[in-house]
Amino acid sequence: MTTYFNEQESIQTRLGNDNKQTLKVLADRYIGANPPIPFAFRAFSRAGVLQNEKGMFDLDLGSRFPDAKPGQFSYAYALVWSDGERNLDVLFNCLGPIQFYFNDELTYRSTVIDEIKPDATVKLNLDFVKGWNRLFIKAKHTAAGFGCLFGSDEAKVRILNVLAPFTERKGQAGWVFSSPIDNDVFEGRSLPDAMSSEKNNGLRWLPNREWDENELSLPVCERLFGRQPGKQAFAWTQLNNVRRGRETCLLKGYAAGTLTVWLDGKQVLELTEEGNFQVEMPLTYGQHQLLIQSVCGNSTWGFALEASIDEEVVPLSLPRQVHGAADPWLFLGPLSANISLSYEDLVQTDRVYTIDVNSEEKTYWRLDRPNTWIRPYYENAMLSNKWTVGNVTNYARWDYPLGVTIYGLLQTGRLLERSDITQYALDHVQSCTDMFAYSLWDREQYGFPAINQQLVMMKMLDNCGSFGSAMLEAYQEDEDQGFMAIANRIANFILHGLERKEDGAFYRICQDEYSENTMWADDLYMSTPFLCRYARITGVSEALDEAAKQFLLFRKYLYMPEERIMSHVFDFKYDMPTGIPWGRGNGWTLFSLTEVLEALPASHEARPALVDFFNELCGGYADLQAESGLWHQVLNDTDAYEEASCTAMFAYSFARGVRFGWLMEPQRFIEAALKAWDGLTRIAIDAQGNVHGVCSGSRYAFTADYYKKDLLTVKNDNHGVGIMMLAGSEVVKLNQWLAVPLEVTQ
C-alpha cells in the first residue's frame, strides 16, 4: 500500500465517517489557502516591449533602433517575482548575438547557429528563487539582426509576468531597454542594481516615462489626447476625507473648456466655458468618488483642481490600486459626443468603452504619463506554472483543473447548505467572465492577453471545456448573461471549429508539438460535460448529440476490451493506441460518461450503447481496485503507486451509477465506492484537509515507466482537490439514497 502520511494524521482518524464534516474541512481549507484576491492593476507603456501571439516578448531592437550601427550594444532588463521556488522552461529566438544573465549569472550565450537561424528556438530551464529574480539581456547589433524574442514555454499556461527594474519605475509592468551605445559598459563590471536609480549607469532607458516641459505646459486632456473639438474625456479620482462627521469641502480650480463634476454620482458642478471655478459641497468621513467630464471646444480642454476643508487639502488617490502609478487620476477618452455613459457605466474597470457609435474601436483607462495605460494582470500565482502548488492562490484563474475545483465547491456548498462556499465559487468564475470583453481587447492592443489567457487564446479543449462546464454549473446560482456570451463562443469552437478525424472524432493537431496528431481520453472531460450543460441551458440538441457521439468514437480508438479499460492516448503518427491505462485518464472518461448519461433522454438512440459501455468500464475498473480501496497510477500495474484523483473519480462515478440505476450489479459498486472513499479518507486526505497522492499533470508515453516514475504526486494539486469534494458529495448522497426504504425508491 502506498503511504503519504501516517494514518494517525488522516481525516478519518479525527472525524471517523462524518463525511459532511470531511467535506467542510476540504472546502474550508481550499478557500482559506486561496483567498479571493482579484487581478492586480499595473501601469504599462504601449511604447514598451509587447508580446506576440505565442507570448514571446518582442525584443527586436533592430526595429526599434533602425539607425543603430553594427557593433553597438543595447540592454534589456526585467524583474520577475516568484512566490516560491519555481522551475520554468524559457525560450529564446536570437536575432543577433545575445548574452542572457539570470540573477546576475551568465546563463546563456548565443552561438553562431542560434544567431543566423532566427526561426530556431533555444530552450533553457531556469530555477526561480523565492522573491525577486533578475533577467538581463545584452544584445549586440550585426547586419543580420539585433535583439531577440524571449518568453516562457506554453506561455498562456505558464504565465511569466515581468516588472520594470529601478526605483523610478517601481511597480510598473514590462521590460526596460536602453538606447544603443558603442561599447559594452558592463564588460567586466557588475550589472546594474535593479533596486537603484536608473540614472546611476549613464544609459538612456526606455520606454520614456516622463513628459517633457512643453507637454507638461499643456492642459491635461490636450496632453493626453491632442486637440479634438467636440470630443469628450473623463477623469476619475478618489477624495479621502479623514475628518469625522460632515464637513464642507471646497472644490476649486481651472477648467480649459466645458466641465462637469460628479461626487459619488451626484452632479455638483457644470461649466460651459473656460475659466476658474469653485464650489462647496458636503463631505462625510471616508472615501468618495470624484468623476469629471471635459469637452473639447475650438481651442483646448482639461482642468486642474484641488479639494480642501478649512484650507486643509483633502488628499486624492487612485480609485483603484494601480501599481507603478504616481498620480491620483485615471483618464478615459477621447470619446465622440454621440457616446452617452452614465456615472455607473464609468466608475468601473471591468469593461472597455466604445469611442464612437459608428465604430467598433474601443478604449480603456490610462494614466497621465506618456503612452501609459492601466492593465490588469493575473498575479495570484506569481510566476505561474501549469500546475500551481505552494503558498499561492488560484483565485481569478481560468484553467482546466480549476474547472473541477469550482464544480466540487459548488456541489459541496449545495450539499452542506453553505451559501458562502457556493458564492466563493461563483465569485471566482465571475472574476474571469466580468473581464472577458476587456481581455479580448487587451490581446488586440498588446499582442497577448495579461488575463484569461487560455480563454482568449482558445486553441484546444483544455483551454475552454472544463472551466466552461463549471461556469455553466455556476449559472444555476446566478443567471449571469455574461456567462452565456462566453459559453456560445466555446460551443461554437467545440462544435464547429475543433479539429476532427474523418469520422468526426475530436483529436489534437498540435503541429510541431509533442502531442501532434493524437487523441486523449482526457478530452472527453474537456468537452462532453460542457456540451451537456450547454444543451440543457440553451436547448441546442446538437450539443448533446455530439457529446454522445464522441464517447462512441473514443471507444473505437481507446478501449482495451480484454481488460475493459481505456488507453490514455491514441497516436495517429503510429496509427495505434499507447496501450497504457493511465488512472486519471480513465477517471476522466468514467466521470464524464456519468454526466452524459444523466443528460441523455431515455429515448436517445445512443443511450443503450452508452449504458452498456458504462457497465463494461465499471466492471473493468472494479476488477483492478487495490485492497486499500485506491487504484494504481497505471491501472493494471500493481507496482505503480496508488493514486488519489482517479480513485475519487471512480468512487464518484460508481455512486452515481448506483443512484441513477445504470449499473446491472449495483451491490458490487456500492461496496467499491464506499471502499474507495474509506481509502481516500485514510490514505489521501489528512486532518487539515490537505489532499495527497494526486498525480501531477500528464503528457503521454508508450511506456508505463513515464507515468510511474516521472509523474509524481503533488500535495493539494488542483487536479485532485475538486474531485475529492465531488466524490465525498456523491458518497453522502449514496448513503442517503441507501437509507431510504426500498418501497419508497421504487
Q: What mean pLDDT is predicted for residues 590-603?
A: 97
pLDDT digits (tens, 9 = 90+) for 513-534: 888 999 999 999 999 999 999 9
Q: Give the whole-angstrom CA distance, residue 718 versus residue 400.
A: 9
Q: Give the whole-angstrom CA distance, residue 472 versus residue 531.
A: 10
pLDDT for 742 equals 74
For residue 605 the three cell numbers come to 438512440
By CB atoms closer than 10 A (0-12, 13-18, 19+), residue 502 is: exposed
Does residue 119 sit in helix, strand or coil? coil
Query: Quick check: 384 pLDDT over 80?
Result: no
Percent pLDDT > 70 in the chain is 98
Do the Cβ atoms of 676 and 624 come closer than 8 Å?
Answer: no
For residue 300 the three cell numbers come to 483646448
Which of residues 86 and 447 earns the better pLDDT score? 447
Query: Quick check: 212 pLDDT over 80?
Result: yes
Task: Compute and round to an integer the Cα radius of gyration of the chain.
Answer: 29
Do the Cβ atoms of 227 and 287 come closer than 8 Å?
Answer: no
Which of residues 545 and 86 earns the better pLDDT score? 545
pLDDT digits (tens, 9 = 90+) for 429-452: 999 999 999 999 999 999 999 999
The secondary structure of 31-95 as a DSSP string is HHHS----PEEEEEETTS--B-TTS-EEEEHHHH-TTPPTT-EEEEEEEEEESS-EEEEEEEEES
Does residue 259 sit in helix, strand or coil? strand
For residue 312 the three cell numbers come to 486643509
Query: Quick check: 391 pLDDT over 60?
Result: no
Q: Give the whole-angstrom CA distance, residue 620 versus residue 563.
A: 6
Percent pLDDT > 90 in the chain is 91
Q: How confident is the model at residue 390 (pLDDT cuts 50, 70, 90)?
A: very low
The secondary structure of 388-417 as a DSSP string is --SS---TT---HHHHHHHHHHHHHHHHHT
Q: Give the whole-angstrom CA distance, residue 489 versus residue 596.
A: 21
Q: Give the whole-angstrom CA distance, residue 718 versus residue 180.
A: 46
Q: What mean pLDDT is predicted for residues 629-636?
A: 98
Query: DSSP E strands: which ranges in 497-645?
Result: 518-520, 559-560, 565-566, 569-571, 576-577, 631-632, 642-643
Query: Quick check: 634 pLDDT over 70?
Result: yes
Q: Comparing C-alpha atoms, which of 542, 625, 628, 626 is closest to residue 590?
A: 625
pLDDT digits (tens, 9 = 90+) for 48-85: 999 999 999 999 999 999 999 999 999 999 999 998 88
Look over the chain and give the mean of its residue pLDDT values, rounded to a whole number.
95
Query: Quick check: 743 pLDDT over 90?
Result: no
Q: How confident is the model at residue 745 (pLDDT cuts 50, 70, 90)?
A: low
pLDDT for 388 equals 39
pLDDT for 485 equals 95
Query: Quick check: 631 pLDDT over 70?
Result: yes
pLDDT for 673 equals 98
Q: What mean pLDDT is predicted for residues 274-283?
A: 94
Q: What mean pLDDT is predicted for residues 230-256?
A: 94
What is the pTM assigned to this prediction? 0.94
pLDDT digits (tens, 9 = 90+) for 302-330: 999 999 999 999 999 999 999 999 999 99
Q: How confident is the model at residue 381 (pLDDT cuts 50, 70, 90)?
A: low
Q: Give the whole-angstrom CA distance, residue 83 versus residue 194.
A: 18
Q: Is 516 left (phi over 0), alpha (psi -120 to 50) or beta?
A: beta
pLDDT for 382 equals 57
Share in percent of the chain as helix, strand, coil (round to 5): 35, 25, 40
One-letter amino acid of 574: Y
Q: How confident is the model at residue 454 (pLDDT cuts 50, 70, 90)?
A: very high
Query: Quick check: 278 pLDDT over 70?
Result: yes
Q: How confident is the model at residue 117 (pLDDT cuts 50, 70, 90)?
A: confident
pLDDT for 386 equals 41
Q: Give the whole-angstrom CA distance, residue 424 versus residue 428.
A: 6
Q: What mean pLDDT is predicted for residues 28-44?
A: 96
Q: Which letter does DSSP use for residue 173 in this model? A: B
Q: Give the whole-angstrom CA distance, residue 241 versus residue 227.
A: 34
pLDDT for 513 equals 82
Q: What mean pLDDT is predicted for residues 45-49?
A: 97
Q: What mean pLDDT is predicted for residues 413-441?
A: 97
Query: Quick check: 512 pLDDT over 80?
Result: no
pLDDT for 385 equals 44
pLDDT for 387 equals 36
